[in-house]
Amino acid sequence: DADVTQTPRNRITKTGKRIMLECSQTKGHDRMYWYRQDPGLGLRLIYYSFDVKDINKGEISDGYSVSRQAQAKFSLSLESAIPNQTALYFCATSDRTGNEQYFGPGTRLTVT
Amino acid sequence: AQKITQTQPGMFVQEKEAVTLDCTYDTSDPSYGLFWYKQPSSGEMIFLIYQGSYDQQNATEGRYSLNFQKARKSANLVISASQLGDSAMYFCAMRERSGFGGSQGNLIFGKGTKLSVKP
């Protein structure tokens, strides 16, 4: 089984809809991250969490919110989706040193 | 200023030849880590190799090696004996230590290099 799973893998939604992307991990890591990838760009950090009670904004958090339901689960929400949020979204985990980084398979989100 | 710079948007290499993908980084932290990831057209991020800033030797993983030149702040990826399956996007990334002494842990990515392997 994969160490980091994301659901859904693909999603098409309409402008203004609320959508949630879910991430689960079996690594036992405290640290979890959400990144976004746009064409021609590397990944950019949206939010990160060091544990259930510690959530922090990343570089591009506007328009997004997150929830850390448990050590193993970290969800990303788009409260009112807009077309420029069309992107590939990755969840990741790391150990406390940051030297081990595990990525989920990604979620392709299209907002029409 | 960009923290990770990959100056080659695209590269071509002949099958079975070696290729070097460039990466320079910018940080004032003494402790950091450098990563290379491969992203095939299917989209997943595949970890290739890691180099810690205090590691004395260059990292190697099978056909991948990292040419780490600390003074020049470069961390080039060398792929030996290229295969058709190596055609993909390659990303260099850095993990910095946070200002509070611990590691924030997230990665800062470059814009990537698209490698195409020719038969």
| B10-63 per-position pLDDT tens digit | 999 999 999 999 999 999 888 899 999 999 999 999 999 999 999 989 999 999
Compute CA distances B77 → B84, B85, B110, whole Å: 17, 16, 13
A40 touches chain B (CB under 8 A): yes
The answer, for A74 touching chain B at a CB cutoff of 8 Å, is no
Quick one: average pLDDT of B68-93? 97
Q: Could you give phi then psi for residue A84, rounded to 5 degrees? A: -80, 5
In this predicted structure, the answer to whether residue B102 has a pLDDT above a threshold of 80 is no
List CB contacts (< 8 A) between A45 and chain B: 106-108
Interface test with A, best of B55, B92, B106 (most A CBs within 10 A): B106
- Residue A41's pLDDT band (cuts 50, 70, 90): confident
What percentage of chain A exceeds 70 in pLDDT?
98
Say which residue, A46 or A99, is predicted with more confidence. Answer: A46
Q: Which helix (H) or strand (E) holds B14?
A: strand B10-14
pLDDT top residue among B106 and B91: B91
Structure tokens at B98: 């946070």
Instruction: Return all residues near B103 (Cβ < 8 A) that are at least 6 apart.
Output: A96, A97, A98, B31, B95, B96, B97
Q: What is the mean pLDDT of residues A3-12?
A: 96
Nearest CA in chain A to B2: A42
User: Is the pLDDT confidence value at A51 over 70?
Assistant: yes
What pLDDT, on a 0 to 100 scale, did the predictor assign at position A39? Answer: 84
- Residue B29: predicted pLDDT: 86
- A99:B52 CB<8 A: yes
> Do the Cβ atoms of B106 and A58 come within 8 Å?
yes
| Cβ contact, residue pair A41, B50, below 8 Å | no
DSSP 3-state of A83: helix
Average confidence score pLDDT of chain A: 93
Distance CA A59, CA B92 (A): 18
Task: Kindly indicate the confidence band of residue A13, based on its pLDDT and cuts at 50, 70 and 90.
Answer: very high
> A84: helix, coil or strand?
helix
Q: Which residue has the tokens 């940080």?
A: B27
A-B C-beta contacts closer than 8 Å:
62
Nearest to A42 among B95, B106, B111 (CB): B111
